Each structure stands twice: as structure tokens, then as C-alpha cells.
């Protein structure tokens, strides 16, 4: 492509929004004299039909090869004008937009300065446009299947939704049955639906659905590939029972001589080493706990037939379906999926860590989950078997705590569970006396306040005060607390004490997050891409999270999130193909020396180094360009923000006369740029010395660009990055410090470089920074011409490494 393409420039009046401040006629006149400019037009509303027609005709009639539109923010109309250009037969990436409204006419009062700034911005755009290249977004077929990790209510629901939409779903669950914690509950609040009754039909649907394949006793161990085309390896651990043959007759369990505490029954009841996880388990088949099975724990016995060495094997001998197989091994299965949903749920904190409640020192001090099981076993005191009448429910055990073993979040379901349990107790036991010790009653959801009222109607005793101690006293328990509303200490004796432990992330959450390449939040649960707008997505395209894996929540919120995530996945996979932005990093192979520095930089793991070459996966690359300046050989570049394009743009802005001072602000294209636009929409004026260059990320910038800027005439540089960028604050700071050091070596005051991180609404912070910076640079001794010449020579002569 020749560097001498013909350029057409179109300047919008925007009905006065621009032209009232910027002298568009002068701009047209000045720009029209530039090299390669064939057409310069101004128009009232370029985005209108006649405006668009004008551009189209100019392209066709004058054979324009590049188009520059100076108007509102590209965040408004980039796609509009790209369509215009495309319909005139020109590649849409040969269009350059200049923001002279939100970032110029709306924020400056001085007409002369605004016009000069516009001229500089448009000139820079023209010079960049000369280096633009045609690009085509790639279309890629996606794998139309989904992996759901975690078979609790969240996983089950999203699996059903997606399977009904026609997708193949693989549901992977680490326990021997799906169902999760919801399968352990008795009734749900506030409707008193029987938990198993609303869950098990869904579990059965999952089992019978032609589009869902369930893997139990299984976990993912390796995730490769990229969004739309993941490759996941699953490890299925042996259950020593053939699911196809097992009839769930339980003859095996009847003959097993080993007993162990039942996980499903929360250690309240014993079960045999071989057992069906629970009555409605799916798959409905037995499983052997290998840590307790006599046969499996005698490693020599495993080598011989059952019964040899006198060791057990009775289950196998009594199984009429020949379903027991002690020789089962780990199975590795490779799956190809287009999207992954993480729905791994939560764990309960170990109440022993809050020692004041003496959990573990008396059998009648239990957790709320254990209470659920007791309700279904027939409510009784674990110690004596008697029916408990006076029961204390202690809330906030480990939640809302900044202490070492505590958890800072609220568990969200503690209050409602206690109220529900109090009402159930009231119904089940005549003369029951439930007491709830609370700090704040959180009854925030639909029907919850009314539920709370019901508990009061049933004369549940509420004590406002987090219980201080539980003291075992023979077969009873004493609870000490301060009734903070009455202002006095109380001591009451109870038959049973039920604790509400904090809901915490599963132990290996970090491991799974690392495997998937997604983040955890400060609370240790998976982190969503945006708190409100992207609540079930993660930082990686194609990987979603739903349910308690994101943080404590109730069942209603969980099913809502499951439906949301199914919708998002369907959108993602829906068209059967995905469009990949062409604005990706590419390799210049002749410069590459295979040092491999770039490989670890990539947050999407898009760069791989083979024996003879480095490959960049254009589909995984998200264009953040963190890798580009780190290449010691400058062998990497970014499409549509290439080195040549950037340097041309920088020179275009910094050269020429105009305001006494020129400050270039490099702004990250989504959040930070959006913030500056917001400032413009709010008409917040700031110094016209600021000229903004939009970059994919501040990570794109190397020392080379910094030096070019000063050489060309800039007096100060500001980097602004969005807070949700993959290039985090500490990395930004690191780079800036290095650049400052280098500036010092060249005799330029390091304080001429500044950086900031912003959120979208924080425009005030950024724009005040602009103003302050301009004031400070004004006071500095100006960079003299000789220094700039020196820099220019240096840049021409040597290859500079970032």
C-alpha cells in the first residue's frame, strides 16, 4: 500500500454544537492545504442521510482512499461512518474519526484555542490515516456445546436452559451425585416449598435430557484453547460401581460392615462405606468411599480376588447385578466446548474457628445445615434423642468479621434460614420456644419481610445481640448474650443450639480460577466482569459464572443468575460463529529472536513459543497490547494502532504552532475515554492545551513514543487507564517509573510525565488532573529547541528499546 493515498476530510458543524466554538471554515482552509488531501468539506449534520450521502459520493467520485471524519466521539458514531465508508466500496478500517465535540467544542471556551486544537487533531488524524490498512474481522465457527462445572441448583438450571435451547451440555460434578447443598435442605424460605420436591424433578430432567451428559465424581484438570473453542480435560475418579448396572437395591450397603460419618447427613448419622449418596441421588447408584472400604484400604488385597487374604468384598459377593468393580481407575476424558459455566457453589465455614460457641464440644451444638438434616431425620437432640423444645439460633458465626478466621461478607441467608427454622420448629413441636440471637435481621428479598412478621406472630423470641458464649451444661446448653435493646446481659438454657456459619469459597477456588484464567474478588469468590452490567461474565470471553460461586446468595437469586448465564451463553454461541476483531497483535517474524519474553505477558495466554517460532493466536488476542513494548527486538505490533500510525499521529499533534503549551493525553479507549466523553457531555471545561490520543491501552506505549512526543514538540504527557483494564494500576505505575527514569537520562524533567487510573464516572478526577498538570508544566522551564533536536537525532539514529 502506497504511503500516498488520497484523503478526504469531512468536518461536522453538529448543528452549532461544534461550529459555535470551532471556526470550521478556518479548519477547512488550513487542513485543505495538507499533502494528499483531495477533498475538504463541512456539513451541518454529517450523521444525517444527506451528510452520509455526501461522504459516499465524494469517495466514489473523487476516488478517495482514506476518509477522516471530524465530529462527535467515535463512541457515538464510529460504526455509523464505517458503514458509510463500506457502502461506498472502501474498507471500513480506512476511516479515521476525530473527536472535536465531547473532547473539544463542548469543553473549551476560548474559540481561537479550540480551533487551533482542532487543526492539530485533524492534522494528526490525516497523518495517521496515511498509514491505515484495510482489515477484515475474522469469522470463526464455535463449538456449540457447553461445559458446566458444578452440579448444584445453579449448574442444573443453566444446563437445562441451554439443553432446551438445543446445545450439548456436559455437566461435571465432583460429588458422586448432582444436587449440591439444596438437596440437603428441608424446606425453603419464604414459601416453605419442600426443597427436594422442587429440586429432584429438575435433577431427573437433567438425567433424562438427550442433550445433557453428566459426569459425577469428576473434576476438570486442564483447560486449553480459546473462547468459542475450548478443550477441557476431565478426570473422573472411580466410584468402584458400574452406574449402568447398579439397580440401587442397596443389598451392598446392607452387607457392608464398615460405618463412617455421612457427608450428606453432615456427620449426624453413620453410613456404610458403600452407599447410595442419598435417596434421590442422580445417578441413582452406589459409590464406595475408598478411605473406609476394607478391601480398598488393604493394598495387597486389591491385587487378588475379593475374599482372598480374608479381607471383605462382601458387597461384591452380594450384588445381584455384578455392578461392583474394585479395579476401576481414574478416567481421563477430553471435551470440546464453546463456552464454560462455573457454578461450583460454596462451603460452610468451620464453626470450630469461632471457639466461643463451643462447636465440637457438645453434640447438641449444630450448624443450620445440620438442623436441616435433623428436620428430615425427625427432629431430636443428637445427645439424648429427645425432642428439643427450647432452641437457640445464633447468627453471624464468622460472618461480618474482620478477625483472622472470620469472613467480612454477610452470609445473606442466615437470618432467613433461622426464621424459617424457628417457624418449622414451632409447627413440629408443641410448646416449642425458638430464640434468635441477631445483630441485624436481613429480610431484603421478595416475601422476606412478611416472613419475618410471621415469625413474630408465632412469638419467636428475638434477642438483638450477637451471642457471646455457648456453655455446655450436662445435656443442655447455656447461651450468654447481651440484650442490647434492654441493655442487660442474659443467660438462658437451651435444648439445642443452631449456629449460622459464614458461607465461604470452596477450598480450591483459586486453583480452578487459575486453570480457567479468571480472577477472584477480594472476598475469595469468582469475580464478575462488572458489578451491575456484566454480573455473570468474567474477564475471559466465553467463561461465565453463576450462583453462589460468585458470592453468598439464596436460591431465587441463584436460579435467576442461571437463567441469565444461559441467555448469555446462547448469545455468545448463538450465531454458530463468532466475529473476531482484527485489531490484534501480530508478529514480525524476521525480527523475532525467540527470546519468549512476550509469552508470560499475555493475560489471554494467546502467545505460544514453539521450537522454531512464536505464534500469536489472533482469536484469543484481545488487543490489549501489553506485550508489544516488552519485545526487545520490536518484533510485535498491533493492527490498527501500528508503530507508524502512532508516531505519525503523535507528530501531527505535537508539531505546528497553536497554544504555547502542548500536552498529549494517551487515553485507554473504553473506560478512560468514556470518562472523558462523560466530562464533555457534562460540559466540564478544562485547558485546551490537552490533546487526547485514543489508545487500546496505555500498555501500548513504549519509551519510544514518549521520546517522539517530546521531540515533536510536546511539553507534557499524561497516561490515563481504565480501572477495569487488564493492565492493572501497579503495572501502569511500574512502566511510568521506568519511563521517568529514562526521561531523566535525556535531561527532560520526569515530572512532565503523569499517569492516572479512572473509573467511568470519575471524569472530575481526570479533568482536574488535566488542569493541575497544565498549571504545573506551565511553571517548568520550557524544553529548549536544541534538546528537541537532540532527541530527534537520537530517534533517527538508534533503535530504541522500550
Residue numbers of the site for other proteins (CB under 8 A)?
355-356, 358, 361, 396, 400-403, 406, 439-440, 464-469, 471-473, 478, 480-482, 484, 487, 489
DSSP state of 565: H
Residue keyed to cell 493475560 = 603
Q: Which is nearer to other proteins, 438 or 763 (CB)?
A: 438
Least gap, CB of 348 to other proteins (angstroms):
17
Q: Which is nearer to other proteins, 294 or 471 (CB)?
A: 471
CA 510 to chain centre: 14
Least gap, CB of 409 to other proteins (angstroms):
12
Q: Which is nearer to other proteins, 138 or 482 (CB)?
A: 482
**Which stretches of 243-344 are DSSP H helices?**
251-255, 294-297, 299-303, 314-318
Which SS3 state, helix, strand or coil, does residue 376 take? helix
Residue keyed to cell 460457641 = 357
Least gap, CB of 437 to other proteins (angstroms):
9
Q: Which is nearer to other proteins, 422 or 502 (CB)?
A: 502
Q: Which is nearer to other proteins, 376 or 468 (CB)?
A: 468
Kind and range of the H or E run holding 510: helix 509-516
Which residues are paired to 537 by β-bridges?
Answer: 544
Least gap, CB of 470 to other proteins (angstroms):
10
Least gap, CB of 558 to other proteins (angstroms):
27
Q: Which is nearer to other proteins, 356 or 768 (CB)?
A: 356
Are 172 and 151 in contact by the 8 Å Cβ rule? The answer is: yes
Least gap, CB of 406 to other proteins (angstroms):
6
Least gap, CB of 466 to other proteins (angstroms):
4
What is the DSSP pairing of strand 476-483 with strand 469-473? antiparallel
Q: Which is nearer to other proteins, 458 or 464 (CB)?
A: 464
Least gap, CB of 151 to other proteins (angstroms):
34
Q: How far apart are CA 546 and CA 526, in angstroms?
A: 9
Q: Which is nearer to other proteins, 94 or 463 (CB)?
A: 463
Q: What is the CA radius of gyration of the chain?
A: 33
Q: How far apart are CA 369 and CA 190, in angstroms?
A: 17
Least gap, CB of 783 to other proteins (angstroms):
42
Q: Which is nearer to other proteins, 402 or 786 (CB)?
A: 402
Least gap, CB of 272 to other proteins (angstroms):
33
Are 494 and 476 in contact by the 8 Å Cβ rule? The answer is: yes
- Tally Cβ neighbours within 10 Å of residue 510: 12
Are 316 and 274 in contact by the 8 Å Cβ rule? The answer is: no
Q: Is the dihedral of CA 278, 280, 281, 285 positive or negative?
A: positive
Are 336 and 449 in contact by the 8 Å Cβ rule? The answer is: no
Q: Which is nearer to other proteins, 240 or 357 (CB)?
A: 357
Least gap, CB of 494 to other proteins (angstroms):
15
Least gap, CB of 759 to other proteins (angstroms):
25
Q: Which is nearer to other proteins, 87 or 489 (CB)?
A: 489
Q: Which is nearer to other proteins, 458 or 480 (CB)?
A: 480
Q: How far apart are CA 524 and CA 770, in angstroms?
A: 36
Q: Which is nearer to other proteins, 484 or 579 (CB)?
A: 484
Nearest to 768 by CA among 754, 748, 781, 752: 754
Residue keyed to cell 461536522 = 12
Q: How far apart are CA 595 and CA 590, in angstroms?
A: 13
Q: How far apart are CA 719 and CA 696, in angstroms?
A: 12
Alpha-carbon distances, residue 374 vs 347, 478, 526 (angstroms): 19, 21, 32
Q: How far apart are CA 18 and CA 102, in angstroms?
A: 9
> Residue 746 corresponds to which cell in the numbers above?
535525556
Q: How far apart are CA 674 and CA 742, in angstroms?
A: 31
Are 153 and 182 in contact by the 8 Å Cβ rule? The answer is: yes
- Tally Cβ neighbours within 10 Å of residue 141: 12
Least gap, CB of 383 to other proteins (angstroms):
15
Residue keyed to cell 419467636 = 460
Amino acid at each position: 500500500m502506497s504511503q500516498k493515498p488520497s484523503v478526504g476530510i469531512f468536518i461536522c458543524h453538529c448543528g452549532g454544537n461544534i461550529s459555535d466554538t470551532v471556526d470550521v471554515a478556518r479548519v477547512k482552509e488550513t487542513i485543505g492545504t495538507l499533502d494528499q488531501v483531495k477533498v475538504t468539506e463541512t456539513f451541518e449534520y454529517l450523521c444525517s442521510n444527506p451528510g452520509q450521502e455526501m461522504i459516499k459520493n465524494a469517495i466514489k467520485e473523487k476516488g478517495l482512499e482514506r476518509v477522516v471524519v471530524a465530529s462527535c466521539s467515535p463512541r457515538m458514531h464510529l460504526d455509523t461512518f464505517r458503514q458509510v465508508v463500506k457502502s461506498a466500496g472502501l474498507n471500513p478500517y480506512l476511516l479515521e474519526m476525530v473527536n472535536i465535540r465531547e473532547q473539544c467544542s463542548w469543553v473549551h471556551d476560548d474559540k481561537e484555542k479550540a480551533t487551533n486544537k482542532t487543526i492539530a487533531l485533524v492534522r494528526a488524524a490525516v497523518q495517521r490515516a496515511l498509514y491505515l490498512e484495510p482489515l477484515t474481522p475474522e469469522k470463526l465457527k464455535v463449538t456449540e456445546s457447553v461445559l458446566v462445572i458444578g452440579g448444584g441448583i445453579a449448574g442444573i438450571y443453566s444446563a437445562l436452559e441451554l439443553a432446551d435451547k438445543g446445545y450439548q451440555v456436559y455437566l461435571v460434578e465432583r460429588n458422586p451425585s448432582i444436587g449440591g447443598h439444596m438437596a440437603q435442605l428441608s424446606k425453603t424460605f419464604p414459601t416453605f416449598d419442600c426443597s427436594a420436591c422442587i429440586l429432584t424433578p429438575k435433577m431427573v430432567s437433567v438425567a433424562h435430557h438427550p442433550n445433557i451428559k453428566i459426569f459425577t465424581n469428576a473434576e476438570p484438570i486442564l483447560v486449553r484453547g480459546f473462547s468459542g473453542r475450548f478443550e477441557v480435560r476431565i478426570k473422573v475418579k472411580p466410584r468402584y460401581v458400574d452406574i449402568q448396572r447398579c439397580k440401587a437395591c442397596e443389598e451392598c450397603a446392607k452387607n457392608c460392615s464398615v460405618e463412617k460419618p455421612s457427608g450428606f447427613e453432615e456427620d449426624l448419622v453413620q453410613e456404610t462405606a458403600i452407599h447410595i449418596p442419598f435417596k434421590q441421588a442422580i445417578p441413582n447408584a452406589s459409590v464406595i468411599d475408598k478411605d473406609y472400604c476394607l478391601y480398598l484400604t488393604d493394598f495387597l488385597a486389591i491385587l487378588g480376588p475379593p475374599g482372598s487374604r480374608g479381607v471383605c468384598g462382601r458387597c461384591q459377593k452380594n450384588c445381584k447385578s455384578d455392578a461392583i468393580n474394585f479395579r476401576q481407575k481414574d478416567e481421563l476424558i477430553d471435551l470440546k466446548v464453546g463456552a464454560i459455566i462455573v457454578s461450583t457453589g460454596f462451603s460452610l465455614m468451620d464453626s470450630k474457628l469461632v471457639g466461643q460457641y463451643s462447636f465440637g464440644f457438645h453434640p447438641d451444638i449444630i450448624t443450620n445445615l445440620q438442623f436441616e438434616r435433623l428436620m428430615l431425620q425427625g427432629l431430636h437432640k443428637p445427645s439424648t434423642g429427645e425432642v428439643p423444645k427450647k432452641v437457640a439460633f445464633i447468627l453471624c458465626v464468622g460472618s461480618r468479621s474482620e478477625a483472622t478466621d472470620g469472613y467480612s461478607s454477610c452470609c445473606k441467608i442466615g437470618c432467613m434460614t433461622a426464621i424459617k427454622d424457628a417457624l418449622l420448629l414451632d409447627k413440629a413441636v408443641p410448646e416449642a420456644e425458638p430464640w434468635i440471637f441477631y445483630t441485624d435481621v436481613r429480610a431484603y428479598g421478595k416475601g422476606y419481610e412478611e416472613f419475618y412478621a410471621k415469625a413474630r406472630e408465632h412469638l419467636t423470641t428475638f434477642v438483638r445481640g450477637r451471642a457471646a458464649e455457648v456453655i455446655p451444661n450436662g445435656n443442655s446448653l447455656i447461651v450468654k448474650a447481651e440484650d442490647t435493646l434492654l441493655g442487660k446481659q442474659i443467660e438462658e438454657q437451651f435444648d439445642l443450639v443452631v449456629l449460622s456459619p459464614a458461607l465461604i469459597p470452596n477450598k480450591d477456588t483459586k486453583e480452578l480460577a487459575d486453570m480457567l484464567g479468571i480472577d477472584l474478588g477480594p472476598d475469595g469468590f469468582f469475580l464478575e466482569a462488572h458489578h451491575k452490567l456484566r454480573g455473570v461474565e468474567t474477564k475471559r470471553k466465553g467463561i461465565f459464572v453463576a450462583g453462589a460461586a460468585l458470592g453468598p446468595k439464596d436460591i431465587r437469586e441463584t436460579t435467576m443468575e442461571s437463567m441469565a448465564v444461559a441467555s448469555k451463553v446462547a448469545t455468545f454461541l448463538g450465531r454458530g460463529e463468532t466475529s473476531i476483531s482484527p485489531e490484534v497483535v501480530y508478529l514480525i517474524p524476521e525480527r523475532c529472536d525467540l527470546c519468549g519474553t512476550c509469552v508470560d505477558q499475555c493475560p489471554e495466554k494467546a502467545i505460544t513459543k514453539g521450537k522454531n517460532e512464536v505464534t500469536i493466536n489472533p482469536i484469543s488476542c484481545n488487543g490489549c497490547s501489553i506485550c508489544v513494548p516488552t519485545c526487545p527486538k520490536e518484533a510485535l505490533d498491533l493492527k490498527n494502532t501500528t508503530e507508524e500510525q502512532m508516531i505519525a499521529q503523535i507528530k501531527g499533534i505535537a508539531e505546528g504552532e497553536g497554544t504555547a503549551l502542548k500536552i498529549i493525553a494517551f487515553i485507554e479507549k473504553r473506560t478512560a475515554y468514556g470518562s472523558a466523553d462523560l466530562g464533555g457531555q457534562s460540559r466540564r471545561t478544562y485547558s485546551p492545551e490537552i490533546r487526547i490520543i485514543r489508545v487500546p491501552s496505555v500498555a501500548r506505549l513504549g519509551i519510544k513514543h514518549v521520546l517522539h512526543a517530546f521531540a515533536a514538540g510536546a511539553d507534557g504527557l499524561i497516561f490515563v487507564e481504565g480501572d477495569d483494564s487488564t493492565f492493572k494500576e501497579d503495572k501502569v505505575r511500574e512502566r511510568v517509573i521506568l519511563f521517568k527514569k529514562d526521561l531523566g537520562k535525556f535531561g527532560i524533567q520526569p515530572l512532565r510525565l503523569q499517569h492516572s487510573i479512572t473509573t467511568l464516572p470519575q471524569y472530575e478526577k481526570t479533568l482536574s488532573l488535566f488542569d493541575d498538570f497544565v498549571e504545573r508544566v506551565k511553571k517548568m522551564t520550557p524544553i529548549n529547541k536544541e534538546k528537541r533536536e537532540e532527541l530527534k537525532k537520537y530517534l533517527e539514529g538508534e533503535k530504541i528499546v522500550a
